[in-house]
Amino acid sequence: MASRPSRPVTGRPGVVARHTRAGRRTPLIVIGVVALAVAGIAGLRLVPGAPLAAAGEQPTDQQDTDQQPSWRQPASTPTAGLSESPTPEPDPTLSPLAVAPTTVRLAGIDGWWSWAMLDQRTGEIHGSANLAETSTTASLIKAWIAADYLRTSAEAGRSPSDFRMRQLEIMIRDSDNQVAEELWQEIGRTAATERMIRICGLTDSHSSTENRWSTTRLSPRDVARIGACIVDGRAAGAEWTDWLLTEMRSVRSPGDFGVIEAFPADEADEIAIKNGWVIRDNEQEWHVNCLAIGDGWTIGVMTRFPVDRPYTYGAKICREVAQQLRAAATASAGS
């Protein structure tokens, strides 16, 4: 995909200049490695998706494994992903969206999955029958950590330093865990979660019992609500909303997967995302989650599945949900 110049800031909320994702799926080519120290090699092996990762290793954005908590997930059986409400008739007074609610069916899924779509024009939420069930967020919650830090800083009359802004950038674009942990402590840990629930009007979610960001529990319905909360300015505030959306439109590999893969490259470049992917050692499960914010819509998809599958198994579920919602919009437009 050829690089395109950044668009100018527009007057529409949440529509901002951005960095293109040109080449985001281009394979990494290692041109030459000369006399690497053993310590350097070991360091590279710890980077998610690094070229020197051990054979069979999979990228993960989890917090330190020696602090990995134990938790009990709610009893649940895999769902067929039926819509919680009938597919509505399109309103001719509203501009059509790139996605539309429908009954999503995914065959043969090994694990649990759930999805929700929020129409920003009306506030209506549609999704799977289990859209209110919760799971752990992993790094998806970093979008809120950034938003809460920026909004509370502005409310206190503080301007983040250039160094701090760089930290925020790598936390969103590269899913940096060390920065997330530092900011999580600074914004009050579970107090930040309680603000998220109150400000964004969440109904299903709650703080982690271990007081850790990666084990915050959200539902797909509340993930979609957080997306709306970000794009309308409640989350990060008027001063920082455009900046945060720009960063979320600039997420880099290995975190740029899922919903955006259902769209052509030019449309995907305009979609803000934050994904999470983590191995829960005690349960021997992957938790892979997707948040996407488009023009007039937000989507939340959450998955859990056996650890012997690749994390891309969850990314595929996110993509296939979005593909069916896109197909429903296309069919509606053509009818």
Residue 45 binned pLDDT confidence (cut-offs 50, 70, 90): very low
pLDDT tens digits, residue range 110-123? 999 999 999 999 99
Assess whether pLDDT exceeds 60 at residue 101. Answer: yes
Question: By the 8 A CB rule, do 302 and 135 touch?
Answer: yes
Amino acid residing at 190: T
Is residue 231 within 8 A of residue 224, CB to CB? The reply is no
For 224-256, b/e burial (b = at least 16 CB within 10 A) is bbbbbbbbebbbbbeebbbbbbbbbbbbebbbb
- Tell me the per-residue pLDDT of 169-222, one tens digit each, with 9 for 90 and over: 999 999 999 999 999 999 999 999 999 999 999 999 988 767 799 999 999 999
Confidence at 58, pLDDT banded by 50, 70, 90? low
Predicted local confidence at residue 95, as pLDDT: 84
Predicted confidence (pLDDT) at residue 262 exceeds the cutoff of 50? yes
The pLDDT value given to residue 214: 93
Q: What is the pLDDT of residue 207?
A: 83
Q: What is the pLDDT of residue 176?
A: 97
Residue range 304-308: mean pLDDT, rounded: 98
Task: Quote the mean pLDDT of the chain.
Answer: 81
Better-scored residue on pLDDT, 100 or 27: 100
| C-alpha–C-alpha distance, residues 287 and 278, integer Å | 5
In DSSP notation, 262-314 reads GS-HHHHTT-EEEEEEEEETTTTEEEEEEEEE-SSEEEEEEEEEETTS-THHH
Residue 17 has pLDDT above 90, yes or no: no
Q: How does pLDDT run across 73-87, given as a tens digit for each residue? A: 333 444 444 444 445
Phi then psi for residue 62, to 5 deg, are -70, 160
How far does CA 148 lie from the centroid of its chain? 16
Lowest-confidence range among 72-86, 222-236, 264-278? 72-86
Q: Which pLDDT score, from 0 to 100, does residue 192 have?
A: 96
pTM of the predicted model as reported, rounded to 2 decimal places: 0.78
